[in-house]
Amino acid sequence: MKKTLTTYQIAHELHPDFSFPAALALAKWLEEYEANTGEEMEMDAVAIRCDWSEYASLAAWADDYFTAGIVDACEVFGLDPDDLDPEDPSEDETLLDAIRDYIRDRGDLIEFSGGVLVSAF
């Protein structure tokens, strides 16, 4: 016996582990994945929680992922930290694009208003 969930029901199931905007973005991503692959999924909030992490921004993910944060990320991406936006290096578009590419080469990235979700890789 199976029960089909709506987008908002999926988001509600995920909300204890993610902010509501993140849970909603992830619910939509899961539905799209299911539609694109033709693979019917079962709702397993624990497995989903283990596979995804929420961050306030791409720079916050880089700070968490790389040992020395943005400085380390620049080294990995071949960027000179002195060439980044002097007002807010963590919002430099070249750096953000490099972070996006790095994540997408290794896993999945969902950007939503208020943050990002990154799959485990």
What pTM did the predictor assign?
A: 0.91
> What band does 85 get if pLDDT is binned at 50, 70 and 90?
confident
Domain ranges (residues) in the chain: 7-119
Give tens-digit pLDDT for 10-56.
Answer: 999 999 999 999 999 999 999 999 999 999 999 999 999 999 999 99
> What band does 9 get if pLDDT is binned at 50, 70 and 90?
very high
Q: Give residue 86's pLDDT.
A: 85
The DSSP annotation for the chain comes to ------HHHHHHHHTTTS-HHHHHHHHHHHHHHHHHH-------HHHHHHHEEEESSHHHHHHHHSTTTHHHHHHHHT--GGGS-SS-GGG-HHHHHHHHHHHHHHS-EEEETTEEEEE--
